[in-house]
Chains A and B, each alone.
Chain A
Amino acid sequence: GAVVSQHPSWVICKSGTSVKIECRSLDFQATTMFWYRQFPKQSLMLMATSNEGSKATYEQGVEKDKFLINHASLTLSTLTVTSAHPEDSSFYICSAQMLQFTGELFFGEGSRLTVL
């Protein structure tokens, strides 16, 4: 099946620094990529939807200036957590979709962010 690679799988950073997480579709072109965060023992929370070449659409309550999403190519999307704080510590997951609206979802392995 299609593979989505997420990097890094875990990262520890100091409060106030910025962290970039990459999501790559390795063997297909992803028209749409999604970013989620997940707190312990909770389900996925969709943060934003990004279509290649256009600005991301953020879910209500997600700060677009805090969580910068770039989807510059059909195989790469990045999430940058700017000026990270301990409350940003979470598990961040991306997924990629081949065909808009009805395509199957392929998930990255997730990135665990810990902000000290």
Chain B
Amino acid sequence: KNEVEQSPQNLTAQEGEFITINCSYSVGISALHWLQQHPGGGIVSLFMLSSGKKKHGRLIATINIQEKHSSLHITASHPRDSAVYICAGGTRIGNQFYFGTGTSLTVIP
């Protein structure tokens, strides 16, 4: 069992739809990261969360520490949002990172 589980693994949506990607973790973490990887391979850090909620444009990330769960929401999805989204938990002890397997999102025009 992975320390970080993501769902769904693959997601296809129509342009304009509201999208949610979920991340559950079983280890104690100090921060939860949401990453975006485009087909070319480059990775961008979208959010780093330790509590509550953050918003950036059409992207919203939430985390529930007690339930060890985080969600990434995309409002008014657009084809350019098509990418792989990865959540990763960072721990204080040993500065370890645990990566989810990623969610491949395709937004159809």
What residues make up the interface of A, taking CB atoms closer than 8 Å to B? 32, 34, 38, 42-46, 49, 57, 91, 93, 95, 100-102, 104-107, 109-110, 112
Q: Contact between B41 and A43 (Cβ–Cβ < 8 Å)?
A: no
A30, B14: Cα distance in complex, Å: 40
Cβ–Cβ < 8 Å partners of B44 in chain A: 107
Binds A, one of B62-70, B71-79, B90-98: B90-98
Q: Contact between A107 and B45 (Cβ–Cβ < 8 Å)?
A: yes
Set B94, B95, B99: member contacting A44, Cβ < 8 A: B99
8 A Cβ contacts from B53-109 to A: 84, 86, 88, 90-92, 94-97, 99-102
A101, B29: Cα distance in complex, Å: 10
8 A Cβ contacts from B23-66 to A: 30-31, 33, 35, 41-45, 48, 50
Cβ–Cβ < 8 Å partners of B45 in chain A: 104-107
Q: Contact between B94 and A57 (Cβ–Cβ < 8 Å)?
A: yes
Known A32-B95, A107-B44; 16 more pairs at CB < 8 Å: A34-B97, A38-B41, A42-B101, A43-B99, A44-B86, A44-B88, A49-B96, A95-B43, A101-B90, A102-B92, A104-B33, A105-B88, A107-B35, A107-B42, A107-B45, A110-B43
Cβ–Cβ < 8 Å partners of A44 in chain B: 43, 86, 88, 99
- Between A and B, 23 residue pairs with Cβ closer than 8 Å are A32-B95, A43-B84, A43-B100, A44-B43, A44-B86, A44-B99, A49-B95, A57-B94, A91-B41, A100-B95, A101-B30, A101-B90, A102-B31, A102-B92, A104-B45, A104-B48, A105-B33, A105-B35, A105-B45, A105-B88, A109-B41, A109-B42, A110-B42
Cβ–Cβ < 8 Å partners of B92 in chain A: 101-102
Q: Contact between B94 and A93 (Cβ–Cβ < 8 Å)?
A: no
Cβ–Cβ < 8 Å partners of B30 in chain A: 101-102
Least Cβ–Cβ distance between B66 and chain A, in angstroms: 19
Q: A43-B86, A43-B102 are in contact. Are A102 and B50 (CB under 8 A)?
A: yes
Closest to A44 in B: B99
Closest to A104 in B: B48
